[in-house]
Protein backbone atom coordinates (compact mmCIF):
# COMPACT_ATOMS: atom_id res chain seq x y z
CA UNK A 1 0.00 0.00 0.00
CA UNK A 2 2.81 2.39 0.96
CA UNK A 3 4.68 1.47 -2.23
CA UNK A 4 1.62 2.19 -4.38
CA UNK A 5 1.16 5.52 -2.62
CA UNK A 6 4.81 6.41 -3.21
CA UNK A 7 4.54 5.53 -6.90
CA UNK A 8 1.41 7.64 -7.25
CA UNK A 9 3.12 10.59 -5.59
CA UNK A 10 6.16 10.24 -7.84
CA UNK A 11 3.99 10.17 -10.96
CA UNK A 12 2.08 13.21 -9.76
CA UNK A 13 5.31 15.08 -9.07
CA UNK A 14 6.64 14.19 -12.54
CA UNK A 15 3.45 15.54 -14.12
CA UNK A 16 3.76 18.81 -12.20
CA UNK A 17 7.46 19.13 -13.05
CA UNK A 18 6.64 19.13 -16.78
CA UNK A 19 4.82 22.40 -16.13
CA UNK A 20 8.00 23.98 -14.74
CA UNK A 21 9.87 23.07 -17.91
CA UNK A 22 7.06 24.45 -20.08
CA UNK A 23 6.82 27.88 -18.52
CA UNK A 24 10.61 28.26 -18.40
CA UNK A 25 10.84 27.42 -22.10
CA UNK A 26 8.06 29.81 -23.12
CA UNK A 27 9.22 32.69 -20.90
CA UNK A 28 12.75 32.55 -22.32
CA UNK A 29 11.40 33.17 -25.84
CA UNK A 30 10.65 36.78 -24.95
CA UNK A 31 14.21 38.12 -25.39
CA UNK A 32 14.75 36.86 -28.96
CA UNK A 33 11.18 37.91 -29.76
CA UNK A 34 11.93 41.47 -28.60
CA UNK A 35 14.98 41.59 -30.87
CA UNK A 36 12.86 40.35 -33.78
CA UNK A 37 9.89 42.71 -33.38
CA UNK A 38 12.22 45.69 -33.17
CA UNK A 39 13.23 45.15 -36.80
CA UNK A 40 9.87 43.86 -38.04
CA UNK A 41 7.90 46.87 -36.78
CA UNK A 42 10.75 49.47 -36.96
CA UNK A 43 10.78 50.17 -33.23
CA UNK A 44 13.17 52.01 -30.98
CA UNK A 45 14.79 50.08 -28.13
CA UNK A 46 12.31 51.67 -25.73
CA UNK A 47 9.34 50.63 -27.87
CA UNK A 48 10.70 47.11 -28.32
CA UNK A 49 11.12 46.84 -24.55
CA UNK A 50 7.33 47.18 -24.32
CA UNK A 51 7.10 43.56 -25.46
CA UNK A 52 8.92 42.38 -22.34
CA UNK A 53 6.97 44.87 -20.22
CA UNK A 54 3.63 43.56 -21.52
CA UNK A 55 4.70 40.02 -20.69
CA UNK A 56 6.06 40.60 -17.20
CA UNK A 57 3.47 43.22 -16.23
CA UNK A 58 1.00 40.34 -16.19
CA UNK A 59 2.89 38.89 -13.21
CA UNK A 60 2.24 42.10 -11.27
CA UNK A 61 -1.42 42.33 -12.26
CA UNK A 62 -2.48 38.67 -12.13
CA UNK A 63 -0.55 37.24 -9.16
CA UNK A 64 -3.00 38.17 -6.40
CA UNK A 65 -6.11 37.26 -8.43
CA UNK A 66 -4.36 33.98 -9.28
CA UNK A 67 -3.82 33.26 -5.58
CA UNK A 68 -7.51 33.89 -4.95
CA UNK A 69 -8.40 31.65 -7.89
CA UNK A 70 -6.23 28.79 -6.64
CA UNK A 71 -7.72 29.19 -3.17
CA UNK A 72 -11.21 28.81 -4.62
CA UNK A 73 -10.70 26.21 -7.37
CA UNK A 74 -7.71 24.35 -5.86
CA UNK A 75 -4.52 23.53 -7.72
CA UNK A 76 -5.49 21.09 -10.48
CA UNK A 77 -8.47 23.02 -11.94
CA UNK A 78 -6.41 26.23 -11.72
CA UNK A 79 -3.56 24.59 -13.66
CA UNK A 80 -5.97 23.49 -16.39
CA UNK A 81 -7.39 27.03 -16.56
CA UNK A 82 -3.85 28.42 -16.76
CA UNK A 83 -2.97 26.14 -19.67
CA UNK A 84 -6.14 27.17 -21.52
CA UNK A 85 -5.24 30.84 -20.96
CA UNK A 86 -1.77 30.18 -22.37
CA UNK A 87 -3.32 28.58 -25.45
CA UNK A 88 -5.46 31.70 -25.91
CA UNK A 89 -2.31 33.85 -25.71
CA UNK A 90 -0.59 31.73 -28.37
CA UNK A 91 -3.61 32.04 -30.67
CA UNK A 92 -3.47 35.83 -30.32
CA UNK A 93 0.23 35.69 -31.21
CA UNK A 94 -0.64 33.69 -34.32
CA UNK A 95 -3.17 36.33 -35.31
CA UNK A 96 -0.63 39.10 -34.60
CA UNK A 97 1.96 37.46 -36.86
CA UNK A 98 -0.54 36.96 -39.67
CA UNK A 99 -1.86 40.54 -39.66
CA UNK A 100 1.51 42.08 -38.66
CA UNK A 101 0.04 44.07 -35.77
CA UNK A 102 2.33 45.02 -32.87
CA UNK A 103 -0.55 45.84 -30.51
CA UNK A 104 -1.81 42.29 -30.92
CA UNK A 105 1.70 41.05 -30.10
CA UNK A 106 1.54 42.96 -26.81
CA UNK A 107 -1.93 41.61 -26.04
CA UNK A 108 -0.90 38.05 -26.86
CA UNK A 109 2.16 38.27 -24.62
CA UNK A 110 0.08 39.66 -21.75
CA UNK A 111 -2.51 36.88 -22.02
CA UNK A 112 0.18 34.22 -22.36
CA UNK A 113 2.01 35.54 -19.28
CA UNK A 114 -1.26 35.70 -17.35
CA UNK A 115 -1.65 31.97 -17.87
CA UNK A 116 1.96 31.37 -16.82
CA UNK A 117 1.39 33.42 -13.67
CA UNK A 118 -1.60 31.31 -12.66
CA UNK A 119 0.44 28.22 -13.47
CA UNK A 120 3.28 29.30 -11.19
CA UNK A 121 0.98 30.21 -8.32
CA UNK A 122 -0.69 26.80 -8.52
CA UNK A 123 2.29 24.57 -9.34
CA UNK A 124 4.91 25.80 -6.86
CA UNK A 125 3.05 24.90 -3.64
CA UNK A 126 1.72 21.74 -5.29
CA UNK A 127 5.25 20.52 -6.10
CA UNK A 128 6.30 21.23 -2.51
CA UNK A 129 3.30 19.32 -1.12
CA UNK A 130 3.71 16.13 -3.16
CA UNK A 131 5.63 13.98 -0.71
CA UNK A 132 7.34 14.08 2.65
CA UNK A 133 7.24 17.66 4.02
CA UNK A 134 10.93 17.31 4.98
CA UNK A 135 11.80 16.99 1.29
CA UNK A 136 9.69 19.89 0.03
CA UNK A 137 12.73 22.12 -0.53
CA UNK A 138 14.43 19.37 -2.57
CA UNK A 139 11.35 18.89 -4.76
CA UNK A 140 11.11 22.60 -5.47
CA UNK A 141 14.81 22.78 -6.39
CA UNK A 142 14.46 19.73 -8.62
CA UNK A 143 11.42 21.20 -10.38
CA UNK A 144 13.24 24.50 -10.83
CA UNK A 145 16.12 22.58 -12.40
CA UNK A 146 13.80 21.50 -15.20
CA UNK A 147 12.56 25.08 -15.39
CA UNK A 148 16.17 26.17 -15.98
CA UNK A 149 16.58 23.54 -18.70
CA UNK A 150 13.58 25.05 -20.46
CA UNK A 151 15.03 28.53 -19.98
CA UNK A 152 18.25 27.40 -21.68
CA UNK A 153 16.59 25.60 -24.60
CA UNK A 154 13.96 28.28 -25.30
CA UNK A 155 16.33 30.94 -26.69
CA UNK A 156 18.01 28.33 -28.90
CA UNK A 157 14.72 27.70 -30.66
CA UNK A 158 13.56 31.31 -30.44
CA UNK A 159 16.72 32.77 -31.95
CA UNK A 160 16.64 30.20 -34.75
CA UNK A 161 13.00 30.85 -35.63
CA UNK A 162 12.78 34.59 -34.95
CA UNK A 163 16.18 35.88 -35.99
CA UNK A 164 18.05 33.50 -38.30
CA UNK A 165 18.49 35.10 -41.72
CA UNK A 166 16.83 38.36 -40.61
CA UNK A 167 18.97 41.26 -41.82
CA UNK A 168 18.36 44.69 -40.32
CA UNK A 169 19.62 48.05 -41.52
CA UNK A 170 19.01 51.31 -39.65
CA UNK A 171 16.55 49.66 -37.29
CA UNK A 172 14.31 47.90 -39.79
CA UNK A 173 14.36 44.73 -41.86
CA UNK A 174 15.88 45.22 -45.30
CA UNK A 175 13.13 43.85 -47.56
CA UNK A 176 9.43 42.94 -47.33
CA UNK A 177 10.41 39.34 -48.04
CA UNK A 178 12.67 39.20 -44.99
CA UNK A 179 9.95 40.85 -42.90
CA UNK A 180 7.49 38.18 -44.05
CA UNK A 181 10.07 35.51 -43.20
CA UNK A 182 10.48 36.91 -39.67
CA UNK A 183 6.71 37.04 -39.14
CA UNK A 184 6.44 33.47 -40.43
CA UNK A 185 9.04 32.45 -37.84
CA UNK A 186 6.91 33.94 -35.06
CA UNK A 187 3.83 32.25 -36.49
CA UNK A 188 5.59 28.89 -36.68
CA UNK A 189 7.02 29.12 -33.15
CA UNK A 190 3.74 29.95 -31.46
CA UNK A 191 1.82 27.43 -33.56
CA UNK A 192 4.00 24.62 -32.22
CA UNK A 193 3.98 26.06 -28.71
CA UNK A 194 0.19 26.21 -28.85
CA UNK A 195 0.07 22.56 -29.88
CA UNK A 196 2.49 21.52 -27.15
CA UNK A 197 0.53 23.38 -24.48
CA UNK A 198 -2.67 21.75 -25.73
CA UNK A 199 -0.99 18.34 -25.51
CA UNK A 200 0.23 19.19 -22.01
CA UNK A 201 -3.29 20.26 -21.01
CA UNK A 202 -4.70 16.95 -22.26
CA UNK A 203 -1.94 15.05 -20.42
CA UNK A 204 -2.59 16.93 -17.21
CA UNK A 205 -6.35 16.50 -17.54
CA UNK A 206 -5.89 12.74 -17.89
CA UNK A 207 -3.50 12.81 -14.90
CA UNK A 208 -5.72 15.01 -12.73
CA UNK A 209 -6.96 12.17 -10.53
CA UNK A 210 -3.44 10.96 -9.81
CA UNK A 211 -2.31 14.46 -8.87
CA UNK A 212 -5.40 15.21 -6.80
CA UNK A 213 -5.19 11.97 -4.84
CA UNK A 214 -1.45 12.34 -4.24
CA UNK A 215 -1.69 15.90 -2.96
CA UNK A 216 -2.47 16.27 0.75
CA UNK A 217 -5.57 18.25 1.77
CA UNK A 218 -4.71 21.95 1.79
CA UNK A 219 -4.02 23.30 5.25
CA UNK A 220 -6.14 26.17 6.50
CA UNK A 221 -4.27 29.44 6.05
CA UNK A 222 -4.87 33.09 6.72
CA UNK A 223 -6.78 35.12 4.16
CA UNK A 224 -5.06 36.56 1.13
CA UNK A 225 -5.32 40.13 2.35
CA UNK A 226 -3.60 39.24 5.62
CA UNK A 227 -0.30 39.23 3.70
CA UNK A 228 -0.52 43.02 3.48
CA UNK A 229 -0.28 43.24 7.26
CA UNK A 230 3.00 41.28 7.29
CA UNK A 231 6.17 43.34 7.08
CA UNK A 232 8.10 40.28 5.88
CA UNK A 233 5.64 39.60 3.09
CA UNK A 234 5.65 43.21 1.90
CA UNK A 235 9.42 43.60 2.00
CA UNK A 236 9.92 40.17 0.42
CA UNK A 237 7.52 41.05 -2.38
CA UNK A 238 9.32 44.36 -2.96
CA UNK A 239 12.71 42.63 -3.05
CA UNK A 240 11.52 40.07 -5.61
CA UNK A 241 9.89 42.84 -7.67
CA UNK A 242 13.14 44.83 -7.84
CA UNK A 243 15.30 41.77 -8.50
CA UNK A 244 13.13 40.32 -11.26
CA UNK A 245 12.58 43.76 -12.79
CA UNK A 246 16.32 44.32 -13.06
CA UNK A 247 16.92 40.78 -14.34
CA UNK A 248 14.30 41.12 -17.07
CA UNK A 249 15.37 44.61 -18.13
CA UNK A 250 19.05 43.66 -18.34
CA UNK A 251 18.34 40.48 -20.31
CA UNK A 252 16.13 42.25 -22.82
CA UNK A 253 18.48 45.19 -23.29
CA UNK A 254 21.43 42.83 -23.72
CA UNK A 255 19.52 40.95 -26.43
CA UNK A 256 18.89 44.23 -28.25
CA UNK A 257 22.48 45.40 -27.77
CA UNK A 258 24.25 42.20 -28.78
CA UNK A 259 22.08 41.79 -31.86
CA UNK A 260 22.54 45.33 -33.11
CA UNK A 261 24.45 45.98 -36.33
CA UNK A 262 27.48 47.31 -34.44
CA UNK A 263 27.93 44.15 -32.34
CA UNK A 264 26.81 40.75 -33.63
CA UNK A 265 23.89 41.60 -35.85
CA UNK A 266 20.79 39.48 -36.38
CA UNK A 267 22.64 37.02 -38.57
CA UNK A 268 24.61 35.81 -35.51
CA UNK A 269 21.65 35.99 -33.13
CA UNK A 270 21.08 32.25 -33.17
CA UNK A 271 24.42 32.02 -31.37
CA UNK A 272 24.34 35.21 -29.31
CA UNK A 273 20.90 35.29 -27.71
CA UNK A 274 21.03 31.84 -26.05
CA UNK A 275 24.16 32.91 -24.17
CA UNK A 276 22.00 35.35 -22.21
CA UNK A 277 20.01 32.50 -20.68
Residue 170 pLDDT more than 60? no
CB neighbours of residue 62 within 10 Å: 23
What pLDDT, in 10s, does the model give residues 131-157?
777 888 888 889 989 998 988 888 888
Percent of all residues in the chain with a pLDDT value above 70, rounded to a whole number: 82
**Average pLDDT of 95-111?**
94
Residue 258 pLDDT more than 50? yes
Residue 260 and residue 153: Cα distance in Å, rounded? Answer: 22
The class of domain 2-214+243-276 in CATH terms is: mainly alpha
Residue 92 and residue 112: Cα distance in Å, rounded? Answer: 9
What pLDDT, in 10s, does the model give residues 200-236?
999 989 888 888 877 776 666 656 667 777 888 888 8
**52-56, 96-100, 192-196, 223-227: least confident range:** 223-227
The per-residue pLDDT for 209 is: 85
Amino acid sequence: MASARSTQTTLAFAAVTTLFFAWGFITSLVDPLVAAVKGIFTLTDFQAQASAFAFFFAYFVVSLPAAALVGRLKAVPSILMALCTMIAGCLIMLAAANVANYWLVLLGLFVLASGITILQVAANPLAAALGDPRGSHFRLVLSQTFNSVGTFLGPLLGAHLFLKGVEVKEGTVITPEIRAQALAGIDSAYFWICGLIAALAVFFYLSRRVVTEAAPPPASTAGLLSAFSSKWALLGGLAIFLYVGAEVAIGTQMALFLNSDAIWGHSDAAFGVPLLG
